[in-house]
C-alpha cells in the first residue's frame, strides 16, 4: 500500500513543460557597439591611445547578441556608474 501512495503522489505532481526546463539555462548576452575590419599589419601598429573607428555612428542602435546571435537592437545608456542597453527592437528569428 505504501508503494501505491507513492505512485499516485508522483502522478499528481504537475508535469514539467519543455519551456520550464529551459528557463534556467544560462545565455551569454553581448552588446556590440560596432565592428571594424583592418589588416593584421595595421592591428600590430596599434598602441595605447590608438583609435579604432567603428561602423556605427553616435546615436545609432547597437546590436544585442545572445550566444552570438542577434536578438535585439538597443541604445546605450548609463545606469549609475555602469553602461546598460535599452532595448528598442526585438528581432524574432525562426529556428
> pLDDT tens digit string along 6-34?
554 455 566 678 888 889 899 999 999 99
Other C-beta atoms lying within 10 Å of the C-beta of residue 90: 10
pLDDT value of position 19: 83
Give the chain's domains with CATH numbers: 27-95 (2.30.330.10)
Alpha helices in the chain (DSSP H): 2-12, 18-22, 40-45
Average pLDDT, rounded, for the chain? 87
pLDDT value of position 91: 96
Model-level pTM greater than 0.85?
Answer: no
- Are residues 70 and 85 in contact, defined by beta-carbon separation less than 8 angstroms? no
Q: How many residues does the chain have?
A: 95
At residue 42 the predicted structure's pLDDT band, cuts being 50, 70 and 90, is very high
Over residues 73-90, the pLDDT tens digits come to: 999 999 999 999 999 999
CA distance 70 to 73: 8
Amino acid at each position: 500500500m505504501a508503494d501505491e501512495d507513492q505512485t499516485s503522489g508522483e502522478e499528481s505532481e504537475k508535469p514539467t513543460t519543455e519551456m520550464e526546463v529551459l528557463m534556467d539555462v544560462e545565455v551569454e548576452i553581448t552588446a556590440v557597439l560596432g565592428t571594424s575590419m583592418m589588416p593584421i599589419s595595421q592591428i600590430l601598429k596599434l598602441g595605447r591611445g590608438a583609435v579604432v573607428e567603428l561602423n556605427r555612428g553616435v546615436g545609432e542602435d547597437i546590436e544585442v547578441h545572445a550566444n552570438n546571435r542577434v536578438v535585439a537592437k538597443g541604445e546605450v545608456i548609463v545606469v549609475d556608474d555602469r553602461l546598460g542597453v535599452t532595448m528598442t527592437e526585438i528581432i524574432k528569428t525562426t529556428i
